[in-house]
């Protein structure tokens, strides 16, 4: 009585339980399921690609994360400057929005400012104003960016478009003005004359950098607070501009929030919002169709399992009579129906990988970067769908074997 090196019972079960019936329906079901899974995973991958385009490190545009916001000047506001200022309530409300990471106020000078040149070779004289903002909002990093009472040197940050305007416009139009590099500008001392409340004083201004982010002439906050006390016409501080740090300037919620209040910001930065809304819609529709198709696919496969079990009912009953356990039958049926789903899933992931690779090639040519391979979340989503299919099949088989 040597126990035989057993052959499996599976080939015999395969002969008895005819899984091959309704081959055409099975093929249609498989194709439908494939399209459904493709749509779902395509939606996931598209969403992730778009996110990468918006937030990916390689696509990051630092200025995009900071918005300077001001109120639109209307006829009513023209006559009352205070109406153009943000109230504390407005700032607090903005601060509580989900898209707002940080909110800072730009404080403006409350005294008159004259800036002129010490040099005869490069003469100029202008009225000016200053603004200040907490350091964390400033994109220029400089050792010289500090001021304490008694310090004669005053660091200044100018907007970079000033430099461009000067070099490309002003210097070209006036014969006696040279073009200046950023390095040269940093070396140029400025006479900063301040007047107010009957007092006057002078500082030596130094440009320490140019900001891409903030379109204003900035001085350190410590100087602003001190000078406003010394020379300020009015003690009440008005926040006419605020800086918003946000992860996503194209967030439709943010754009709507600003539009609802007629607040203005750099439209260039929020322009992406419309595209994004459209993409969100498309992704949602494709994903939605995918989910509906998946539900129908699951239904078709459930019916298919029912059909198979019903068609082989007498043989299944006899197998059970002879002592075959329901577990063995269950396992056998699962092994008949699950592999096709695995194949579908792999085929879809392969197709998506091809698409992604092609997309990456095309976008790279246009200076945009997405990953060359599909996102791990897409793979995770495919596993999730697979688990759903597995659970549905298991439930159907269990239910119909019991009957």
Partner 1 sequence: MIISLQQVVPTPIREKILARPSDVWNAQVELGGTHWTKLRAPSGSGKTTLIHILWQLRKDYSGQVLYNQAPANSLSDDALSAMRQQQLSVVFQDLRLFGHLTARENIELKRRMTHPTLYPTSRVDEMAAELGVQHVLEQQAATCSYGEQQRIAIIRALMQPFELLLMDEPFSHLDKANTARAAALIAAECRQRQAGFILTDLDDDDHFSYTQQLHL
Question: How many residues are there in the chain?
Answer: 403
The CB-of-323 to partner 1 minimum distance in angstroms stands at 3
Closer residue to partner 1 (CB): 3 or 367: 3
Sign of CA dihedral 255, 259, 264, 268: positive
- The nearer residue to partner 1, 261 or 320, going by C-beta atoms, is 320
Kindly state the smallest distance separating residue 326's Cβ from partner 1, in Å: 6
Can residue 8 be called a binding residue for partner 1 (CB under 8 A)? yes
**Closest by Cα among 22, 36, 8, 14 to 292:** 36
Of 88-96, 186-194, 324-332, 342-350, which segment contacts partner 1 by CB under 8 A? Answer: 324-332
**66-100: b or e for each residue (b if 16 or more CB lie within 10 Å)?**
bbbbbbeeeeeeeeeeeebbbeeeeeeebeeeebb
> Does 87 sit near partner 1 (CB under 8 A)?
no
Q: Does residue 318 bind partner 1 (CB under 8 A)?
A: yes
Q: How far is the CB of 362 from partner 1 (least distance, A)?
A: 56
Between the two ends of the chain, the Cα-to-Cα distance in Å is: 38
Q: Considering the complex, state which of residue 202 and residue 317 has its C-beta at the smaller distance from partner 1.
A: 317
4 touches partner 1 by CB under 8 A: yes
Q: Please state, as a whole number, how many other Cβ atoms lie within 10 Å of the Cβ of residue 137.
A: 21
> Which residue in the set 14, 320, 330, 394 belongs to the binding site for partner 1 (CB under 8 A)?
320
How many amino acids of this chain bind partner 1 (CB under 8 A)?
22
- Decide: is 175 part of the binding site for partner 1 (CB under 8 A): no
Alpha carbon 358 to chain centroid distance? 23
Applying CB under 8 A, which of residues 174, 235, 321, 403 lies at the interface with partner 1?
A: 321
CA angle, 267 then 99 then 64, to 5°: 40
Nearest to residue 36, comparing CAs of 336, 325, 295, 393? 295
Q: Site residues (CB under 8 A) for partner 1?
A: 1-4, 6-9, 12, 15-16, 315, 318-327
């Amino acid at each position: 009585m040597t126990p035989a090196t057993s052959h499996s019972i599976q080939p015999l079960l395969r002969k008895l339980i005819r899984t091959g019936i309704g081959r055409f329906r099975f093929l249609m079901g498989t194709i439908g399921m494939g399209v459904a899974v493709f749509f779902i995973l395509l939606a996931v991958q598209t969403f992730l690609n778009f996110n990468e385009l918006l937030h990916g490190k390689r696509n990051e545009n630092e200025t995009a994360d900071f918005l300077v916001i001001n109120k639109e000047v209307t006829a009513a506001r023209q006559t009352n400057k205070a109406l153009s200022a943000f109230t504390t309530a407005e700032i607090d409300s903005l601060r509580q929005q989900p898209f707002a990471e940080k909110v800072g106020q730009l404080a403006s000078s409350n005294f008159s400012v004259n800036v002129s040149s010490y040099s005869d070779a490069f003469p100029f004289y202008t009225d000016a104003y200053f603004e200040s903002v907490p350091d964390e909002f400033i994109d220029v990093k400089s050792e010289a960016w500090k001021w304490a009472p008694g310090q004669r040197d005053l660091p200044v940050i100018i907007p970079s478009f000033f430099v461009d305007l000067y070099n490309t416009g002003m210097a070209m139009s006036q014969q006696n003005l040279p073009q200046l590099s950023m390095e040269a500008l940093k070396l140029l001392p400025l006479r900063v004359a301040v007047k107010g409340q009957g007092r006057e004083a002078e500082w030596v201004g130094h440009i320490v950098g140019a900001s891409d982010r903030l379109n204003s002439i900035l001085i350190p906050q410590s100087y602003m607070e001190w000078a406003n006390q010394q020379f300020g016409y009015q003690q009440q501080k008005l926040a006419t501009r605020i800086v918003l740090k946000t992860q996503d300037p194209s967030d439709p919620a943010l754009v709507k929030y600003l539009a609802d209040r007629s607040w203005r910001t750099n439209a260039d930065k929020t322009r992406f919002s419309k595209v994004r809304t459209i993409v969100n819609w498309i992704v949602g529709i494709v994903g939605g169709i995918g989910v509906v198709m998946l539900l129908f696919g699951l239904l078709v496969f459930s019916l298919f399992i029912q059909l198979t079990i019903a068609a082989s009912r007498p043989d299944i009953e006899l197998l059970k009579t002879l002592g075959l356990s329901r577990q063995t039958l269950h396992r056998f049926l699962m092994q008949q129906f699950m592999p096709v789903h695995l194949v579908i899933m792999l085929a879809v992931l392969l197709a998506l990988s091809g698409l992604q690779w092609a997309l990456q090639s095309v976008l790279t040519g246009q200076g945009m970067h997405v990953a060359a391979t599909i996102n791990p979340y897409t793979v995770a989503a495919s596993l999730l769908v697979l688990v759903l299919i597995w659970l549905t099949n298991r439930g159907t088989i269990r239910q119909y074997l019991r009957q």
